[in-house]
Structure 1
Amino acid sequence: MIRHVLLIKFKEYSEVSEIVKLKSLFESMPEKVEGVVSVEWGVNDSPEGKNKGYTHSVLMTFTDENGRQNYLPHPEHEALKDVFRPLIEDIIVFDYQA
């Protein structure tokens, strides 16, 4: 399995309704894209104050490399990015083998 971790810093003016829409799009990926096993959406609640402005995370799990390669160019991923890009100030993407 491959874990795909996103740490997200939204622009200050991002509408809550757009962030909620984005969350729904991410959470629908396992039903829409073969090879996406699961998606977790989280909001930072660490008391340490070391998040450097990153407020949200997404943890996606792919079945394997084929699953990841199916997702990256997939039309559903492209549609998600159309909603996502205008909202983000910065993002960290980190993948690893589980």
Structure 2
Amino acid sequence: MVRHILLVKFTSETSEQDLSQLEQAFYQLKADIPGIEGVEFGANISPEGLDKGYTHAVLMTFVDVKARDAYLPHAKHEAFKAIFVPMIADILVFDYEF
């Protein structure tokens, strides 16, 4: 299994409606692309103040590295990125196997 973690700072132009639509689009990726076991999307609620400005996280779980690698260039992922990337002020991506 592979965890694919995104920590995101959104642009100031990104609205709550944009975030809601984006969240649903992330969940749709699971339905559209084989090998995605799970998707979670959420806003930071930590009281520690160590978020460095990242406001949201996405956690995707893939069945294996091969599934993650197939997802990255997948046409549905590329179409999704056309919506997502313009909303990003900064992003951190971190994958690990477990």
TM-score, reference length from structure 2: 0.96
Aligned-partner Cα distance in 1 for 2:46–2:21: 24
Asked if residue 3 in structure 1 is aligned to residue 3 in structure 2, the reply is yes
Alignment partner, residue 75 of structure 2: 75
* Matched residue, 2:85: 85
Q: 1:1-98 alignment to 2 at 5 Å? A: 1-98=1-98
Partner Cα distance (2:85, 2:21) in 1: 13
Unaligned runs of 5+ in 2: none
How high is the TM-score relative to the length of structure 1?
Answer: 0.96
Deviation at 1:17, TM superposition (A): 1.4
Aligned length: 98
Between 28-37 and 2-11, the greater mean CA deviation after superposition: 28-37
* Gap runs ≥5 in structure 1: none
Give 1:42 deviation, angstroms. 1.2
Q: Could you list the structure 1 runs, at least 4 aligned residues long, displaced by more than 3 angstroms after superposition.
A: none
Q: What is the alpha-carbon distance in structure 2 between the residues aligned to residue 20 and residue 80 of structure 1?
A: 14
**Secondary structure of 1:89's aligned partner:** strand
Identity value in percent: 48
1:18 positional shift: 1.4
Note the aligned Cα RMSD (angstroms).
Answer: 0.8
Displacement of 1:86 in angstroms is 0.8
